[in-house]
Amino acid sequence: MLVVGFSTMALIIILSVFNGLENLLRELYGSFDPELKVTARVGKSFALDADFVQKINDIPGVDQVVFTIEDNAYVKYNKSEMVAVIKGVSANYTRVNHLKDKIVEGKLNFWNGNLPMAVVGQGIQFSLGISTADDYSTLQVYFPKNLRSKSLTTNSSMNKMNIPVAGVFAIERQFDEKYILVPINFAAQLFNYKNRVSALEISVAKESQTPEVQQALQNYLGSKYVVKNADQQHAIILRTVRIEKLFVFITFIFIIGVSSINIFFSLSMLAIDKKKDIGMLFSMGATTRQVRTIFLAEGGIISLSGALVGLLVGVIIILLQHHVGLVQMGLQTSVINYYPVAMQWQDFVFTAASIIAITLLASIQPAIMASRFTEVVKK
């Protein structure tokens, strides 16, 4: 019972940690990424017109539509330089995300009167040495005018634009070391996009269901466009977490299978030790099926009791980890101080069912062996 209970507890705790990591990724990405994102199936941009935008806004469940332009550019700040992703966003960008809660310096502000402002990731701030309090230094952004040009002068081959930094956000390294957010007009002029955009970022109305709105958008846009929900935008990372969780579950099931050998030998020794009593039961009229049932019930009691105790202790530890933080990450660069956990009823069902099934299977052979002692053993 202790072996089964400990295995159950360990498995349910580890599965809950993977659930917590998955939820943490969704929370982090949700601060930056939209609920639905529309991109061109071929190419990195597509043209917009007023009728196209109006029809998207008229689709039931669509709340806000944000226009974005995104491309790589060369940036300088004083004597530091690097390549970053410049993401131009329309004026309603702050209405569809939670980036305001992730600002660690300055403000989430893309305009200072008529002057465009940038909001950069914390990793870019560290790399370039940016200070939002420095009113005299600006980001210098360069983008090629014509890749076929043979001129070596910067003015003829590159678009150059300057923009002050209004704020700094900190989400996760994937975003912090990559993105610089600017007004869409600034990005359109820099990249010479005119009436083209890289993507549409769409928020869903509260009373609507995201899958239904996604399907309606895809039906209207057709095969030339791709509509992705929040999970599909980071499908590879989330799929990796789920695959790791699956392999951990399979590994623990094998460990529990090996541990069930203890139950097999315990019941086998019990059958041998009680050979005389079993023979007496047969002489009193007990059937083979009844004797087998006794030993199967013994295995069932072991597995069920162990599984219940393990699940109970596992739930207690998970709740303590969630509210108190028993086990910390131990990394200064981690986004949270302790391992995240989240319970899902599917984990409890599959864990309990697998352990009970393995334990009962280990009880079958001892039950069959016990049913063969059909005569009373005499001293």
**DSSP assignment string, 285-353:** T--HHHHHHHHHHHHHHHHHHHHHHHHHHHHHHHHHHHHT-SSB---TT-SSSB------HHHHHHHHH
pTM of the model: 0.74
State the pLDDT at residue 373: 64
Three-class DSSP labels, 231-248: HHHCHHHHHHHHHHHHHH
Nearest CA-CA partner of 351 in 15, 1, 2, 3: 15
What average pLDDT does this structure show over 84-108?
A: 88
Degrees to nearest 5, angle at CA 370 with 369 and 371 = 90
Res 175 pLDDT > 50: yes
Between 358 and 127, the higher pLDDT residue = 127
Q: Using one digit for the tens of pLDDT, what is the confidence trace for 291-335?
A: 778 877 877 787 788 888 888 999 999 999 888 878 877 665 566
Q: Three-class SS of residue 37?
A: strand
- CA distances, 152 to each of 79, 156, 158, 371 (Å): 21, 8, 10, 92
H/E stretch holding 214 reads helix 210-221
Q: How many residues belong to the chain?
A: 379
Average pLDDT, the chain: 84
Strands 36-40 and 139-144: unpaired
Q: Using one digit for the tens of pLDDT, what is the confidence trace for 220-261?
A: 888 899 999 888 888 888 888 889 888 888 888 887 777 777
Q: Using one digit for the tens of pLDDT, what is the confidence trace for 63-90?
A: 889 999 999 999 999 889 999 999 999 9
Q: Highest mean pLDDT range out of 137-151, 167-181, 263-277, 318-332?
A: 167-181
Phi/psi of residue 67, each to 5°? -90, 135
For CA atoms 142, 145, 147, 149, give the dihedral sign: negative
Name residues whose C-beta falls within 8 Å of residue 242's C-beta, 6 or more positions apart in sequence.
18, 22
What is the rounded end-to-end Cα distance, in angstroms, of the chain?
A: 33
Name residues whose C-beta falls within 8 Å of residue 324's C-beta, 6 or more positions apart in sequence.
none
Amino acid at 286: A
What average pLDDT does this structure show over 210-223?
A: 90
- Tokens found for residue 305: 């009791």
- Tokens found for residue 9: 């507890």
